[in-house]
Structure formats: structure tokens, C-alpha cells
Amino acid sequence: MMSYEGYQDRILTCRDCGQEFTFTAGEQEFFATKGLTNAPSRCPECRKARRNGSSQQRSYGGSSEREQHDAICATCGKATTVPFVPREDRPVYCSDCFQEQRASRAPRSGGGGRGGRNGGRDRHDRDNSWDRDRW
């Protein structure tokens, strides 16, 4: 039998089902070794159900899907839905046209994995070049 000095079993109430459960001294010590400072708010059964439900939602879409917004594809004019609020200044594509756009884009090169939108230059470099060009 292990001694969990400074820890005593605590009775907690599950936030989901309202049932009481024991947060044992051993569990408390384990939480402390992992740097966790808050006690669990769900009983082991509800934690397990939540884990199984949330992984299923990620894998299969689940019942709480993202909010979708209606839009018109900028290329083909077909009605579509997107998981973000469309803006007037940005084109929105249906999934088929989006895939075509993605495939037709040339791969970015910037060397050293620092490519991206600014071509590998950081903000400081951009600000300095703008200043030099301006004056």
C-alpha cells in the first residue's frame, strides 16, 4: 500500500450527471505530478463518455457540426456553404472549384521552410524595406 502524504480522498460532484464520485489521494498525487492544479469536474463514467463522444464527433462529424454559411462560388456561380462568414473582398469557392484552385497554384518557394506569404522575410525586414523604398 502506498502512502500519499498530504492527500486525502475527496468527494466531488460530477458537473454532467450530478452524481458524487471519489477523487482519491492517489489520483490527486498523479494530477500533481502532471502539473494539473484543478480537480476533475466529471466522474470517471462521464469523462469516458465525453472522450468517446468527442473523438467520434471529430472522426464522423458528430451531431454538433460547425455553423455553415451560404455563399455563391466565385468561379462557377453555384450555391455552396462554408464554415466561415464570407466577406465581400474575398472570393469564396465551392469544394470542386477550391480543389482546382489549390491544384493550379504553384508551390511556394522561399528556401529553408520560411516561405509563405511574405517570401521568408519577417516583419522587421518588410518594414525596413518599405522605409528605404519610401525615402
Q: Assign residue 32 a region: left if phi > 0, alpha if psi is -120 to 50, beta otherwise? A: alpha
* Residues 5, 7: Cα–Cα separation, whole Å: 6
Residue 55's pLDDT band (cuts 50, 70, 90): very low
Is the pLDDT at 110 greater than 50? The verdict is yes
Q: What is the pLDDT of residue 58?
A: 46
Q: Are residues 50 and 76 in the same domain?
A: no
Q: Are residues 78 and 44 in the same domain?
A: no
Is the pLDDT at 15 greater than 80? The verdict is yes
Q: Are residues 72 and 45 in the same domain?
A: no
Q: Are residues 43 and 17 in the same domain?
A: yes
Establish if 128 belongs to a structural domain: no
- The amino acid sitting at 60 is Y
How many structural domains are present in the chain?
2
Q: What is the pLDDT of residue 124?
A: 53
- What is the arithmetic mean of pLDDT over 27-50? 92
Q: Are residues 51 and 89 in the same domain?
A: no
- What is the arithmetic mean of pLDDT over 48-70? 67
- Maximum distance among all Cα pairs of the chain, rounded to whole angstroms: 77
Q: Which of 23, 43, 60 is the last residue of a domain?
A: 60
Q: Are residues 20 and 50 in the same domain?
A: yes
Indicate the pTM of the whole model: 0.39
Instruction: Give strand pairing partners of 72.
Output: 79
Q: Are residues 78 and 56 in the same domain?
A: no
- The amino acid sitting at 107 is P
- Residue 56: helix, strand or coil by DSSP? helix
Contact (CB, 8 A) for 26 and 39: no
Residues above pLDDT 70, as percent of the chain: 67
Domain that holds residue 28: 10-60
Q: Are residues 84 and 45 in the same domain?
A: no
Q: Are residues 55 and 82 in the same domain?
A: no
Is the pLDDT at 40 greater than 60? The verdict is yes
**Tens-place pLDDT, residues 119-133:** 555 555 555 555 555
Establish if 31 belongs to a structural domain: yes
Q: Are residues 56 and 15 in the same domain?
A: yes
Establish if 18 belongs to a structural domain: yes
**Which three three-digit cell numbers place residue 47?**
469523462
Is the pLDDT at 56 greater than 50? The verdict is no
